[in-house]
Amino acid sequence: MTSEKEKIRKAVYGKLETLRRKLTAQGIPCTYSRSILSHDNGGTGFSITFQAGENGLRPTISIRNGEATEEFDNIEQGLARIKERFLHAA
């Protein structure tokens, strides 16, 4: 029998792997490591994580540039900002 922790880990992996494939197909390279999907290009980059909550998995997207960090907890807004910021820079 799979523990609750293992179920959550597998669900997070599935979501992040799907996002990795989607972003890579659009020309935004990223890597999966230890339940974090990330891209780093010097002082700029992003990371996407999911945390278990009462209503399922909650995303957290952090986008870094040389001066500031933007945080998103809405997956659609965060992905739109990633595409805007990194699609042409990749």
Say which residue the tokens 């990795």 belong to.
Answer: 20
Q: What angle do CA 61, 62, 68 make, to 5 degrees?
A: 150
Predicted confidence at residue 2, as pLDDT, reads 72
Mean pLDDT by 10 residues, the chain (90 residues): 85 94 93 92 90 88 91 94 79
Predicted confidence at residue 41, as pLDDT, reads 81
Listed by start position, the domains of the chain span: 4-86
> What's the pTM?
0.86
